[in-house]
Amino acid sequence: MRDKYALFESREQDAFFKNHYSFSEASKILTNLKKNEHPRIMKHTKIGLKQGLEHFLLEKKAETVYLAAGDFCYDDSTKISIEAALKICDGGLKNINAFSIDVCESYRTYVYNESMDRFAKKFKPKK
């Protein structure tokens, strides 16, 4: 059942990173990020986000973060997983912890303020 949400979630995550973490935005926190490293760092950040979300969903026995949004705002799985993914690919990046926190908090805000309406429209119950 979870598969029906996977494509939507992946597209929303892509839009989130594109709109919120351009090189200029990401380098405000990751102060020594080089432009040529940005795509690789964003790829690993998305991997960490996905791993954290999967952990959260397994723990909550939920199909999608959109159906467990109330609990999601208190969960640290995404922050921890993003930080771990960035440390694996680390090229000496500074402020990984601060960046992980920022991405996690920004993604929560994105889910609530931007993405939730699209989810509701796409997956609204049929009458």
Is the pLDDT assigned to residue 88 strictly greater than 60? yes
**Percentage of residues in the chain having pLDDT higher than 70:** 94
Instruction: Give the predicted TM-score (pTM) of the model.
Output: 0.89
Confidence of residue 69 (pLDDT cuts 50, 70, 90): confident
Are 83 and 121 a contacting pair, CB within 8 Å?
no
Positive or negative, the Cα torsion across 1, 66, 85, 80?
negative
Domain range list for the chain? 3-122
Q: pLDDT tens digit string along 1-47?
A: 467 788 999 999 999 999 999 999 999 999 999 999 999 999 999 99
Q: Is 75 exposed, middle or buried (0-12, 13-18, 19+ CB in 10 A)?
A: buried
Q: Mean of the pLDDT values across residues 84-107?
A: 90
